[in-house]
């Protein structure tokens, strides 16, 4: 299995710390609001990687954090805690907000068929562990106290910036945003513990008074607690590279005096109509909002799988229409295969299995694997083709074994048969026949909508 390692900037063979086992940590949500589709792309990537790992026969121990304290409104240690801000807006306690949006997040990921990691760790349940981590860093000379918290001294960690490639401290992205704090030894020093104002709701006792953990320390602490000093894979979005993950590396390796993570893997941004996605632009959508517009969670999952995780994904409703049509077509073809009594050539199945496996093991080339599925389905329907696609779906996660359940409209077999003849006419570029059959379908009270990979039928 080959994966791209952000740390080395190249593809590498996955070699695990423990034979036959992958230990993986994934940055989870900050639960102050409902996750949107851009967030969900990151968890779909996490899920696909998990599935590919198991597809290759590894045991898997996965950890995902739930940040319910400590994530400030700026990633660079400025502003209020996001949970505190949400509490002020809603009149609810941070704990009530965290519980509500954690439950909502887990329901949304389940709807997308995202498998829950073996361990889901809440930050507020690991305060003592984080405090011990910070105290050790201070004892080793990496942490120092200021009037507003405890900071990590990056001048004591010469390789700071190795993940992002920015090793010049005066040019560090975080430093450029936080140089207003004159008490810091270096502009890019980051908070590992924050002193809490009296009005701050979430605070705990510490050697530095009533306080709460910094965001970055949470992941380092919980990853080490559950996965050991050195583990295999750490995942997250590309936005985590220059600050959050850079800081994780610094504090973890300062504590351990050795490398903490062997492979760093990052998923690219999702854009909307070629523009940055942000709440301020009003171009983010939740899973509920997509469903209101007629798209199922599996339509969205299919849409995401058609772009490699290291490429920006441009969201458009035209693209979602195509994904919806293609997914519907895929289910229809599988239904035909499931009930067929013919058998495919054995070499066709063998070639497909090899092509699919090679695609998955080349840095999760899911789009290439999907292409292999569609090529296979060009063969005459057969039950062994159905079985082969269901085997592949252990990685794709599209719930293809439930294809019979996806028929939402009771469309007469006569209309389906005409629609299929029309599609074959279109493939043969017989436009006259295609148009005539469309008219016939309309006369029966149904409409047909075409897309690149197929069509959908609906009642008028």
Give 91-142 as a DSSP string.
SS-HHHHHHHHHHHHHHHHHHTTPPPPSEEEEGGG-HHHHHHHHHHHHHTTS
Q: List the one residue out of 48, 53, 160, 14 whose CA is nearest residue 398.
A: 48
Average pLDDT over residues 217-237: 98
Give pLDDT, residue 168.
67
Residue 406: per-residue pLDDT: 47
pLDDT tier for residue 75 given thresholds of 50, 70 and 90: low
* Sequence ranges of the chain with CATH classification 3.40.50.620: 2-267
Distance CA 25, CA 231 (A): 8
Residue 103's pLDDT band, with cuts at 50, 70 and 90, is very high
Residues contacting residue 204 through CB under 8 Å, at least 6 positions apart: 127, 131, 210, 211, 212
Handedness of CA 437, 442, 446, 450 (dihedral sign): positive
The pair of three-digit structure tokens given for residue 244, joined into one six-digit string? 């959050």
Least confidently predicted of 41-50, 79-88, 177-186, 376-385: 177-186
**Whole-number average pLDDT of the chain:** 90
What is the separation, in whole angstroms, between the first and last Cα of the chain? 49
Q: What DSSP element (H or E) covers 39? A: helix 37-55
Q: What is the mean pLDDT of residues 253-265?
A: 98
Helix residue ranges per DSSP H, 283-429 = 287-292, 297-305, 317-338, 346-360, 366-376, 383-396, 413-427
Q: How confident is the model at residue 204 (pLDDT cuts 50, 70, 90)?
A: very high
Average pLDDT for 264-288: 83
pTM equals 0.85
Count CB-CB contacts under 10 A for residue 344.
Answer: 21
Among 78-87, 170-179, 254-263, the minimum mean pLDDT is found in 170-179
Q: What average pLDDT does range 117-146 have in this prediction? A: 97
Q: How confident is the model at residue 78 (pLDDT cuts 50, 70, 90)?
A: low
**How many whole angstroms separate alpha carbon 457 and alpha carbon 276?**
34
pLDDT at position 173, please? 40
What element of type H or E holds 45? Answer: helix 37-55
Inter-helix orientation angle 413-427/431-443, to 10°: 160
> Which pLDDT belongs to residue 324?
93
Pairing relation of β-strands 119-122 and 143-146? unpaired
Residues 419-433, mean pLDDT to the nearest whole number: 90
Between 76-85, 171-180, 341-350, the lowest mean confidence (pLDDT) is in 171-180
Phi, psi (degrees; rounded to nearest 5) at 313:
-110, 120
* Cα(48)–Cα(8) distance, integer angstroms: 22
According to the model, what pLDDT value does residue 276 have?
76
2-267 adopts what CATH topology?
Rossmann fold (3.40.50)
Decide if pLDDT at 179 tops 70: no
Q: CA Rg, the chain, in Å? A: 25
pLDDT at residue 384 above 80?
yes
pLDDT average, residue stretch 435-449: 89
Please give the pLDDT value at position 182. 85
Distance, in Å, from the CA atom of 203 to the CA atom of 86, rounded to the nearest integer, reads: 16
């Amino acid at each position: 299995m080959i994966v791209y390692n952000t740390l080395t900037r190249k593809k590498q063979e996955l070699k695990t710390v423990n034979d036959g086992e992958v230990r993986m940590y994934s940055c989870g949500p900050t639960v102050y609001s409902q996750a949107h589709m851009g967030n969900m792309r990151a968890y779909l990537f996490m899920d696909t990687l998990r599935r590919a790992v198991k597809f290759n026969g590894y045991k898997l121990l996965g950890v995902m954090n739930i940040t319910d304290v400590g994530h400030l409104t700026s990633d660079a240690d400025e502003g209020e805690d996001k949970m505190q801000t949400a509490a002020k807006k809603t009149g609810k306690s941070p704990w009530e907000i965290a519980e509500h949006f954690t439950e909502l997040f887990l329901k949304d990921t389940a709807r997308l068929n995202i498998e829950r990691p073996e361990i889901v760790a809440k930050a507020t349940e690991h305060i003592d562990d984080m405090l011990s981590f910070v105290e050790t860093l201070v004892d080793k000379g990496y942490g120092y106290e200021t009037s507003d918290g405890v900071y990590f001294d990056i001048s004591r960690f010469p390789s700071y910036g190795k993940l992002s490639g920015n090793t010049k401290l005066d040019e560090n992205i975080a430093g450029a945003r936080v140089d207003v704090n004159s008490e810091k030894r270096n502009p890019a020093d980051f908070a590992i513990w924050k002193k809490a104002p009296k009005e701050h709701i979430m605070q705990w006792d510490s050697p530095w008074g009533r306080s709460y953990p910094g965001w970055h320390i949470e992941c380092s602490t919980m990853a080490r607690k559950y996965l050991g000093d050195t583990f295999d894979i750490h995942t997250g979005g590309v936005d985590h590279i220059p600050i959050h993950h850079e800081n994780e590396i610094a504090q973890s390796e300062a504590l351990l005096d050795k490398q903490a993570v062997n492979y760093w893997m990052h998923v690219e941004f999702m854009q909307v109509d070629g523009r940055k996605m942000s709440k301020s632009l009003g171009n983010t959508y939740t899973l509920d909002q997509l469903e209101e517009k007629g798209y199922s969670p599996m339509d969205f999952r299919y849409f995401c799988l058609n772009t490699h995780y290291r490429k920006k994904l441009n969201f458009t409703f035209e693209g979602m229409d195509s994904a919806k049509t293609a997914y519907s077509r895929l289910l229809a073809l599988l239904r035909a295969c499931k009930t067929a009594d013919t058998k495919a050539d054995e070499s066709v199945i063998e070639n497909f299995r090899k092509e699919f496996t090679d695609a998955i093991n080349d840095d999760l080339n899911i789009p290439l694997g999907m292409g292999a599925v569609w090529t296979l389905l060009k063969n005459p329907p057969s039950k062994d083709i159905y079985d082969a696609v269901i085997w592949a779906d252990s990685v794709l996660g599209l719930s293809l074994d439930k294809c019979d359940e996806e028929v939402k409209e009771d469309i007469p077999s006569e209309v389906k048969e005409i629609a299929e003849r029309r599609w074959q006419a279109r493939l043969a570029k017989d436009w006259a026949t295609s148009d005539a059959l469309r008219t016939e379908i309309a006369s029966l009270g149904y409409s047909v909508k075409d897309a690149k990979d197929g069509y959908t039928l609906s009642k008028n």
